[in-house]
Amino acid sequence: MNAIWVFRGLEPAAAIERLGQLGIIDPSLPVVRPRPNESNRFTPYSVTINAVLMQFVVAWFDAESSRVPCRHDQLLVSLENFSRGCFRPDAVREDFVAAHNHYTLSFVHDKRLYTVRFWNEGDYYNTGAVFQGVNRALRDVGCREQFMDLPVSQAQMASYLFADPKAADLAADELLLLLRKKGAPLERAIDELVGGVA
């Protein structure tokens, strides 16, 4: 990824500024940057990704809970920390019915009850079901931002960005960051780098 950034002339300062303009990060908060003597340890891409991670808008966790039941209720409650105060669940409850091999997760958000039912996936969180319920609650209160699944390189890690989907798509297209929507901007950039058709 760093080679593509260098090829395209992308710089962390400009990328971080653009992420602020898109509302993905809060430009009023300080951005952690490497000290001059550490700059050779960080790529421009990693500096930019770290700026996003340090703003607590990415929920990053081990998708394997190492226990059954998985405690999706605790995962759901933790998402308040990554939602800039938009998601505030109350009365969160998880019921696991081992005989039927399914969960029921319920919570109240903005005085409305939400119930999500899903199959047991062993000691792995059913992240799709949890985030589907959370995003429904966010849409119902008019929140533009949603939790979106991010590609991660570690197989059992899960990572979700809290941002406006349109802004995240622009960041993916312009900076090759975060989401990979249809049209595969990363693949186009690799073709461009190796001399293929862009």
* DSSP secondary structure string for all residues of 132-147: HHHHHHHHHTT-S-EE
Q: What is the largest CA-CA distance in the chain?
A: 59
Which residue's structure tokens are 């500096």? 47
pLDDT of residue 150: 78
Determine the residue type at 101: N
pLDDT of residue 186: 45
- Taking 50 as the pLDDT cut, the residues of the chain under it are 180-198
Q: For 87-130, how does the pLDDT look when each residue is reduced to its tens digit (9 = 90+)? A: 999 999 999 998 888 999 999 999 999 999 999 988 889 999 99
Is pTM, for the whole model, over 0.85? no
Rounded to an integer, what distance in angstroms lies between the CA atom of residue 196 and that of residue 73? 48
Rounded to an integer, what distance in angstroms lies between the CA atom of residue 156 and that of residue 170? 27
Torsion on CA atoms 41, 46, 6, 177, rounded to nearest 10: 170
Rounded to an integer, what distance in angstroms lies between the CA atom of residue 76 and that of residue 175? 30
pLDDT of residue 15: 83
Positive or negative torsion for Cα 185, 190, 195, 196: negative
pLDDT of residue 197: 42
pLDDT of residue 182: 40
Positive or negative torsion for Cα 185, 189, 191, 196: positive
pLDDT of residue 193: 43
Residue 100: exposure state from Cβ atoms within 10 A (0-12, 13-18, ≥19):
exposed
Domain ranges of the chain: 2-55+164-194, 63-145
Rounded to an integer, what distance in angstroms lies between the CA atom of residue 138 and that of residue 110? 9
Which residue's structure tokens are 């039927």? 100
